[in-house]
Structure 1
Amino acid sequence: MDNKTLYIKNMVCDRCKMAVQQVLDKNALPYTSVELGEVELAQPLNTEQLSKFKEDIETIGFELIEDKTSKIISSIKTSVIDFVRNSDESRKLKLSVYLAEQLGKDYNYLSSLFSSIEGTTIEQYFIHQKIELVKELIVYDELSLSEIAYKTGYSSIQHLSNQFKKVTGLTPTHFKQVKENRRKPLDQV
């Protein structure tokens, strides 16, 4: 394993990046960048440093990924989350093209690997991530359903509503009326 690049499971937001940076700083581990799911270190870690870092990130809900397949699956998930949350990108490229470019691998290979390991397709994972973003935006109550549909890349409110109901069992309007929080953490989608 290249101890200069670390792959970390469950990093799904900017707060996750900050939490990992705090662990790096606490352990005086110099790094060049911290991105979703990946840390570039300034220098390789010795076994003791790696063990301590692994232990520290596990206490805050993250996991060091050490095998190749898990790294690829984690990278796919991170890239899908990034794609969903970066609405400008999702209007310029198809998801398959975006993933192939981001990961430097053929999309058919990525899709097949993801399905065999996760038991679902990349497309289904993508749809669930979009629905979680829609839930978040509905809960915030700052945008109309039309604006949410546009922001999340749906062609119409009807398309959004149909997919939302298929995934959640509720219409977006009914979801908004239900006061209990039905959102899931992104790493559990």
Structure 2
Amino acid sequence: MELHIKNMVCNRCKMVVKAELEKLGFNPIRVELGEVVLPEDISQEEKIKIAKHLSLFGFALLEDRKTQIAEQIKTSIINLVHYLKDPLKINLSTYLSEELHLEYPYLSSIFSEVEDQTIEKYFIAQKIEKAKEMLTYGELTLSEIAFQLNYSSVAHLSAQFKKVTGTTPSAYKSDTSDKRKTLDEI
């Protein structure tokens, strides 16, 4: 049985969900971002028990199909921006359609309805958050960051960065206050 779980956005989330399900007596076959596969079907009471327990850690079970699709889109984008090492060689729309096996206009419509923002805005927000992380570490130049995040130029990254954050990448780097968001806050 598949369970779809909201706010699973990193490898630590996967470890927490797996450990907590095992504490409750469920032994997942597979735990991925946003999804858990259990070896057998569970009752509605067991679902409620899991939902209540996971909510203590900021997770939520997703029952509605549209919400599940929106979460799968978010998970795919988070994987793309934060975990894949190679730049995307195809359009985001093609990538999402291939990942989720659904037509992009349908995905776009559902995402906008559920999340009250476009897929593109969410994608840009994730890329800017990744840029903030890279700037904070200070290991890469702005040119290297722009390349890794698949921007056509430093100017393009800087313009989007300023539009989203209200500050330039250089000003952000020199400011010592903590402004980063967790992935589930984006």
Amino acid at match of 2:102: K
TM superposition shift of 1:111? 0.6
Give yes or no for contact 1:31–1:43 (8 Å, CA) kept in 2.
no
Give yes or no for contact 1:6–1:38 (8 Å, CA) kept in 2.
yes
Amino acid at match of 2:172: F
Q: Pairwise mapping of residues 135-146 of structure 1 onto structure 2 (< 5 A)?
A: 135-146=132-143
The normalised TM-score by structure 2 is 0.95
The yes-or-no answer on 1:16 pairing with 2:19 is no
Amino acid at match of 1:103: L
Query: What is the match of residue 181 of structure 2?
Result: 184
Give yes or no for contact 1:54–1:64 (8 Å, CA) kept in 2.
yes
Q: In 2, distance between residues paired with 1:19 and 1:51? A: 18
Query: What is the match of residue 100 of structure 1?
Result: 97
TM superposition shift of 1:92? 2.1
The yes-or-no answer on 1:57 pairing with 2:37 is no
Structure-2 change in CA distance of 1:89 and 1:143 (3 Å): closer
The yes-or-no answer on 1:174 pairing with 2:171 is yes
TM superposition shift of 1:155? 1.7
Q: In 1, distance between residues paired with 2:93 and 2:151? A: 17
Please identify, of 40-49 and 17-26, the stretch whose mean Cα deviation from structure 2 is larger. Answer: 40-49
| RMSD of aligned residue pairs (Cα, Å) | 1.3
TM superposition shift of 1:133? 0.5
Which whole-Å deviations, capped at 9, do the CAs of 1:13-33 have from their partners, x for residues lacking one?
A: 111111101111111212111
Amino acid at match of 2:39: A
The normalised TM-score by structure 1 is 0.93
- Structure 1 unmatched runs, 5+: none
Q: Pairwise mapping of residues 1-189 of structure 1 onto structure 2 (< 5 A)?
A: 4-88=1-85, 90-189=87-186
Give yes or no for contact 1:7–1:66 (8 Å, CA) kept in 2.
yes
Q: In 2, distance between residues paired with 1:184 and 1:23? A: 25
- Structure 2 unmatched runs, 5+: none
Please identify, of 34-43 and 79-88, the stretch whose mean Cα deviation from structure 2 is larger. Answer: 79-88
Q: In 2, distance between residues paired with 1:179 and 1:27? A: 42
Aligned length: 186
